[in-house]
Amino acid sequence: MILTGTLAPGGELRLDDLAESLEVSTMPVREAMLRLSHDGLVEAHPNRSFRVARFSRDDVDDILRTHAFLAGELAARAAVRAQPPLDLELKAIEDRWDAAEESALDELNRRFHRRINGAAQAQTLVLVLRTATRFIPQHFYPIIPEWREVARRGHADLATAIGSRDAEAAQAAAREHVMDVGNLLLAHFSDRGYWLTPRPV
């Protein structure tokens, strides 16, 4: 409901109303609100109230650019430091992509990037990346029709660059991949009139 704009930015989220509409008790709704607050989609307030997070297009664009930079650094290091089986593992995930059910794509995508990030042997960069990306939704991409093909192309370029141990190509491929899928995210929200005006400096 947040991602489709049914619940607008800044709108109050009433647990009782949501529980009734979802036909569940308030306990799982409260747990969901807390989880969504960690994902940056909901603001939790001290009085135990919740509101839909308010953010501008510039906020998300800044995070995407940070994500692209960090992903590029990790991919470059993975290209140099990874053991040879990594490119085969990435190719195996890539081979499953076209035949996979929509419900499986998010996990395949996560597995692909986890393998690269782990191979980079740069835990501090991975932690910084996780901190940055928790401010934008990460699980919604499969609902965007174009994402499947855009992600497939990006994964193929990354796997090729890492398999060639070309750090510069891997860095460029990772940055382009993040921005390509990120632009889908920006367009998705823009189409729904989701953005607030930029925050004053």
Please, which residues bridge with residue 196 across strands? Answer: 56
| Residue 10, pLDDT score | 84
Q: What percentage of residues in the chain have a pLDDT greater than 70?
A: 92
Residues of CATH 1.10.10.10 domain(s) within the chain? 12-52
Task: List all residues 6 or more positions away from 108 whose beta carbon is below 8 Å from its beta carbon.
Answer: 93, 96, 97, 100
57-191 CATH choice from 3.30.70.260, 1.20.120.530, 3.60.15.10, 3.40.50.300: 1.20.120.530
pTM score, whole prediction: 0.77
Environment class of 175 (CB within 10 Å of its CB; exposed 0-12, middle 13-18, buried 19+): buried
> Would you say 180 and 40 are in contact if contact means Cβ atoms under 8 Å apart?
no
Mutual angle of helices 57-81 and 147-163, in 10-degree steps: 30
Residues 38-91 pLDDT 10s? 877 899 988 888 998 877 888 889 989 999 999 999 999 999 999 888 989 999
User: Can you tell me which residue has the tokens 């489709």?
Assistant: 4
More confident residue, 64 or 9: 64
Residues of CATH 1.20.120.530 domain(s) within the chain? 57-191
CB < 8 Å & 24+ apart, contacts of 162-169:
162/75, 162/78, 162/79, 162/82, 162/86, 162/87, 162/90, 162/116, 162/119, 163/87, 163/90, 163/91, 164/79, 165/79, 165/80, 166/79, 167/76, 167/77, 167/79, 167/80, 168/76, 169/79
d(CA 176, CA 123): 22
pLDDT-based confidence at residue 13 (cuts at 50, 70, 90): very high
Q: What is the CATH number of domain 12-52?
A: 1.10.10.10
Give just the sign of the alpha carbon dihedral 44, 50, 53, 54: negative
> Would you say 64 and 141 are in contact if contact means Cβ atoms under 8 Å apart?
no
